[in-house]
A and B are shown apart, each in its own frame.
Chain A
Amino acid sequence: MKKMVRILDGNIFALSEDNGDMAFSPTSPSGFFAFDTRFLSTWRLSLDGERLHPLAIHEPSYYEIRFFLVPGNPTHYVDAKVSVIRDRWISDSSFTERLTVLNHTGEPVDYVVRLDIDSDFAPIYNVVWPHASSLRGYRQVSDDRLRLGYQRERFHRVTDVSTSEPADIDDQGLTYRIRVDRQARWSTTLNVRSMVLRPDGADIREQLRHGHGQVGAQLRHDLRQWLSDAPRLECDWEPLATTYNRGLVDLAGLRFSPLALPHETMLAAGLPWSATIIGRDAILACYQTLPFVPRMAATTLRLLALDQGMVLDDFRDEEPGKMLNEFRYGEMAAFEERPQSPYYGGADVTPLFVVLLDEYERWTGDADLVRNLEDAARAALHWIDEYADLRGDGYVWYQRRNERTGAMNHCWKDSPEAICYRDGRLPGLPRATCELQGYAYDAKRRGARLAREFWGDPAYADRLERQAAELKQRFNRDFWIRDGEYFALALGPDGDQVDALASNMGHLLWSGIVEESRAPAVAGHLLGPGLFSGWGVRTLGKGQARYNPLGYHLGTVWPFDNSLIAAGLRRYGFVAEAGVIAETIIDAAQHFAGRMPESFAGYDRDLTRYPVPYPAANSPQASATGAIFLLLRTLLGLEPYGEHLVVHPAIPQRFGRIELLDIPGRWGRMDAIGNARVTVP
């Protein structure tokens, strides 16, 4: 596929070829998108019947771009007598393009400028997972406007294209017949507006006091403020600084204003295709970035509580107290061809909600939010016992009730074959993956603290702690594989061990559910030849039947996964091992210009000498971006302790000195400074 260029503003974005054209084909992702819908799929410019090709592309920010173009084929010697500039930007729910034609000759010249315009109004799901799509809907031509519309019952999407200069408008585009003086220029501004219309003609977004993202747009574009609010990093090892600064800018770009909390911002899961609320990614990214940019966590927690499951609903895999997995606004969600309205098929989001709520209070001291969300947090904790414990044995299990469009795996490794036995067999349902048990353990322990300190319910706190202790004991008995000395990836439907060697074990250290005596063996596996590639910990170990260095959850290395693993190793005192992971992951990010990729291939480092990128749809991706922040916290050993910030650095030689200044928290602002030294674990 050709390289695509894009501009975006939250969940509104435009993707085109490098000459600015969007050309429709059933498998092309190009177009102008808003509200989970493709509003334009064809946007193709020609000059006197000739396509244009780019001499240069300039991207001053993530929401604007400029193309310098000349007619003809790129293999020709360029001696253009005419050139075209396309300036394009996104604002509100519009896509705007200013076309400028420059006549470089000494004579006036007549030109025909043509723009072909069309749309398939495809739901975003069908673009990410290409389906046969076709141009559809109606077209209306008026003097100054071309309207493309698509209507299904009362569902109505409209794209209005207007022009500042007069044009001949037909139902497939606009034609300008112009004369440009010698050495002169001509310009027109085209505005493409996306509208989500109701039967009364109003845009549904405008009726929700959302202001089309304008409030959010102001917040987002205030990048300088965002950067100056974050702690300042000074360090000896350049790659760390590069990745940190790239991460802060990417977090800024990932912010968006959810419809339900229109005056606040939270993180989208990934750009451009996952510019929406995905519970797991939102929580993990907040957890990772709490010591740096803590405010978004409050918005995320409140939003998830607002969307918390209330009833049993098989289609959405919804249960009371459960936190959402994904929210979409497109046609397939509207007509219930897909369950994302919202979908609840994730067994990890609910315990992680409690984990984040507690961690948020530890850093910020915001007791009001903990009191405000008491009912939601209690319902989440209740969900673990009542709706996740499918076999009544005290474990968190999952099994989809929506067997047609629901997800097979309700954990972060959600691809269908991610949970497997060592010999490659797939277990039946229900399944209980190991990291879910760790999350539940951590949620109960943290829930106990909240109950005791903020909810005035010590009896409940005692009960939660007792349950957590029992869970830990049971877990270390049932999941431990004696021969191999590691924890099973999951329990299968008979309670048997699904024995693949996988990275999930690292999350267990992060959650604290591993018995101390077993931690050395776990750490040994994580840094051993099966799991450790030299660039980080693989999702699945070499030697497992389904291992594939390019398998999405079956052998690739995920920075977010590694950041939790490093935090877990540190928690159990394996500071050298945590340092190795931090160093290798940050090293790998340098091959991606400091931007943490969602994942990269799991080849051995000495085989490829280069972290081979996995062709990911989203970049940046929130929880990958968050990895650098959690790694930094781990290296500096940052922990809130009462009203204080404890700093306990353990830094590998390579890093030299690290200074993190103005760390926000309940203490106001504090600095953390650490020097590399040889540490003996």
Chain B
Amino acid sequence: MSESVRAFFDALAHGGGRMLRQVSGSVRFDLVRPDGVDHWLVTIEQGRVTVSQGGVADADTVIRADEPLFLRMAHGEVKPLPAWLRNDFTADGEFRWVIMLERLFAPPPGARHPRALAARQWPAGDREPR
């Protein structure tokens, strides 16, 4: 497995994602490499995240993705939900975990705080709509 994958899961185990306290369940990631498949199990217990690596454990949802795509999602470069709609990865189990993947991954790079945009245009901004 790549160092980047391990680094991501180590950080997730340490940082805990952005799970709400009311969330419990498990997601298994089956990451496909040219020479095999790595399994990672992410378990969430009332918002607390633990990670284990290894076998084909039972999980609420199994996400199967190529490792490079997984890393791009993990780094916030590819949004999970449209990627799922495109069949760029597959999900078996509960759809709610496809929605909540975003809470485990990094935010999209370069996004702006809405105030930053408003400040740019106000008060000097044009008043007529573009």
The interface of chain A, by Cβ under 8 A from chain B, is: 153-156, 197-200, 202, 204, 207-210, 259-262, 305-307, 310-315, 319-320, 329, 333-336, 341-342, 372-376, 379, 387-388, 390-392, 397, 399, 401, 408, 416, 425-430, 492-494
Contact = CB atoms under 8 A, between A and B. Distances in A.
B127 A342 contact: no
Interface in B74-116: 76, 79, 81-82, 84-88, 90-96, 99-100, 102-103, 107-108, 110-115
B125 interface: yes
B118 A430 contact: yes
B103 A342 contact: no
A492 B94 CA distance: 44
A429 B128 CA distance: 9
Nearest to A197: B87
B18 interface: yes
B7 interface: no
B122 A208 contact: no
Nearest to A420: B129
Interface in B11-51: 18, 20-22, 47
14 contacts: A260-B95, A310-B102, A311-B108, A312-B113, A333-B82, A334-B85, A372-B22, A425-B128, A426-B129, A429-B125, A430-B118, A493-B123, A493-B127, A494-B127
Contacts of B20: 305, 375-376, 379
Contacts of B85: 155, 329, 333-334, 341
Contact of A311 (B87, B91, B92, B102): B102
A425 B117 CA distance: 23
A165 to B, nearest CB: 35
Contacts of A197: 87
B96 A397 contact: no
A373 B90 CA distance: 29
Interface of B: 18, 20-22, 47, 76, 79, 81-82, 84-88, 90-96, 99-100, 102-103, 107-108, 110-115, 117-119, 121-123, 125-129
Given A262-B95, A494-B127, 15 more contacts: A153-B86, A198-B90, A202-B90, A311-B111, A312-B111, A313-B79, A314-B110, A314-B112, A336-B82, A376-B20, A388-B114, A390-B114, A427-B127, A430-B122, A493-B122
Contact of B112 (A200, A305, A401): A401
A561 to B, nearest CB: 24
A386 to B, nearest CB: 9
Contact of A334 (B76, B86, B96): B86
A376 B95 CA distance: 19
Nearest to B92: A207
Contacts of B93: 207-209
Contacts of A390: 114-115, 118-119
A307 B96 CA distance: 9
A204 B82 CA distance: 13
A296 B21 CA distance: 23
A388 B84 CA distance: 30
A334 B127 contact: no
B112 A208 contact: no
A489 to B, nearest CB: 15
B95 A428 contact: no
Contact of A494 (B91, B119, B123): B123
A210 B95 contact: yes
Contacts of B47: 375
Contacts of B86: 153-155, 334-335
A310 B117 contact: no
A208 B102 contact: no
Contacts of A379: 20
Contacts of B107: 310-313
A493 B111 contact: no
Contact of A428 (B84, B87, B99, B129): B129
Nearest to A151: B87
A124 to B, nearest CB: 14
Given A313-B108, A493-B122, A306 B114 contact: no
A208 B94 contact: yes
Contacts of B82: 333-336, 341
Contact of A375 (B21, B92, B100, B128): B21
B114 to A, nearest CB: 6
A421 to B, nearest CB: 10
B114 A494 contact: no
A425 B127 CA distance: 9
Contact of B126 (A341, A375, A401, A428): A428
Contacts of B110: 314
Contact of B87 (A154, A305, A376): A154
Given A210-B95, A306-B100, A372-B22, A341 B114 contact: no
Nearest to B113: A312
Nearest to A312: B111
B121 A207 contact: no
Given A210-B95, A341-B81, A372-B22, A314 B111 contact: yes
A307 B103 CA distance: 10
A420 B86 CA distance: 39
A375 B22 contact: yes
Contacts of B122: 391, 430, 493-494
B125 A207 contact: no
Contacts of B113: 312, 387
Contact of A207 (B18, B21, B79, B91): B91
Nearest to B105: A311
A401 B20 CA distance: 26
B11 to A, nearest CB: 16
Given A210-B95, A333-B85, A429-B125, A200 B90 contact: yes
A311 B90 CA distance: 23
A341 B123 CA distance: 33
Nearest to B115: A390
A397 B119 CA distance: 12
Contacts of B22: 372-376
Contacts of A425: 127-128
A426 B128 contact: yes
Report, nearest first, the 5 A-B pairs whose CB atoms are least far apart.
Answer: A334-B85, A311-B107, A312-B111, A390-B118, A154-B87
Contact of B114 (A199, A261, A372, A401): A401
**Which among B102, B110, B126, B129 has the highest number of chain A CB atoms within 10 Å?**
B129
A429 B81 contact: no
A209 B84 CA distance: 16
A197 B47 CA distance: 33
Contact of B117 (A204, A375, A399): A399
